[in-house]
Amino acid sequence: MPEITASELAARLGLRVRGSGNRQITGAAALADAGADDLTFVSSEKYFEAALESAAGCFIAAADFPGASDRTIVESPHPRAHFAQALALLYPGAPIRPGVHPTAVIHPSASVDSTAEIGPFVNIGDGVTIGAGVRIGASSSIGAESSVGDDSVIYARVSIYDRVRIGARAVIHSGAVIGADGFGFELAGAAYRKVPQVGRVEIGDDVEIGANCCIDRATLGVTVIGDGTRLDNLVHIGHNCRIGKHVLIVAQTGLAGAVSVGDYAVIGGQVGVGDKARIESKAVIGSGAGILSSKIVHAGEPVWGTPARPLRQYLRQLATLSRLAKRGTTKET
């Protein structure tokens, strides 16, 4: 990790320093664990006292943070966000090592940029295009006619099926499967028959896909993940879903087929979304909620529960049930 002074860090972040700008920063830590050479952050006034009692030498904090004569303050209107940027500066990723590992198998028709890093036992299929600065980890597979945009990182053991397009600066974590068949079956007589899944998957720029996510190809047409969207680990996106830009979807959430999600929506963990549901831009769905098939979730108040309803209504219903339970207990005693 490179050492940096508080003044150098502040300059990189476009912020102002209060106290000694020459303080050397050798690492970053949580408030309770930080030492004299560590950077930490103070997100709000309720943490001021704990910060002043800590051993941390340098804080990213709001301008009204009182500080102390022996501390250095990097003043920020958004301490948490600037701390995240500082972490990227303090702990840069490993540099790209251009080249193809001798155990990788690359189809003669594939186009791999000379600045890409192709790891051990990678398989790259017919007609694949790999952009500049791409890193593909060990044992990953890229199917025929797929493409990976510039500066993307594909970690180990990722499976990308045929005809998948991945934009620039994507990050795809281990175990993800992109472009597998959608769940399409029709009952024909006494048995289910598979409906061929002949569509594609398109993933925009700056998308991050967590470990062991599954994104199914469309039955016909395209399954779309918009620019800047973030999928946590163990998220399932069904066939023909259209996910907008800068959407957050938390772990263990599953979307059935043909769900649409608007830009900047937030979907909590362990949410189930039925087929053809529509989630509007900037809607918020609480963890564990259930969205019925073809339901429309409007932007505005967060929704919670199964079936999902506005949070205030959900809380009133919980309070009513609690009162009824207490009355029942009182009558029994």
Domain boundaries, the chain: 4-90, 99-311
Q: Are 112 and 95 in contact (CB under 8 A)?
A: no
Catalytic residue among 173, 236, 239, 246: 239
Position 2 scores a pLDDT of 67
Spell out the residues 6+ positions from residue 281 whose beta carbon is closer than 8 angstroms to its own: 244, 262, 263, 264, 265, 299
Which CATH number is associated with domain 99-311?
2.160.10.10
Which residues of the chain, if any, have pLDDT below 50?
none
Position 312 scores a pLDDT of 82
Three-state DSSP class for 202? strand
Q: Look at the domain 4-90 and name its fold.
A: 3.40.1390
Position 1 scores a pLDDT of 58
Position 131 scores a pLDDT of 98
pLDDT, the chain, mean: 94
Position 330 scores a pLDDT of 58
Position 329 scores a pLDDT of 64
Catalytic residue check, 101: no
Burial 104-140 (b: 16+ CB within 10 A, else e): bebeeebebeeebbbbeebbbbebbbbbebbbbbbbb
Q: Are 279 and 272 in contact (CB under 8 A)?
A: no
Position 321 scores a pLDDT of 79
Cα separation, 83 vs 66, in Å, equals 18
Closest alpha carbon to 131 in 139, 121, 140, 142: 142
Q: Are 219 and 195 in contact (CB under 8 A)?
A: yes
Cα separation, 229 vs 226, in Å, equals 6
List the alpha helices (DSSP H) in the chain. Answer: 6-13, 48-53, 79-90, 311-332
- Chain-centroid distance of CA 90 in Å reads 21
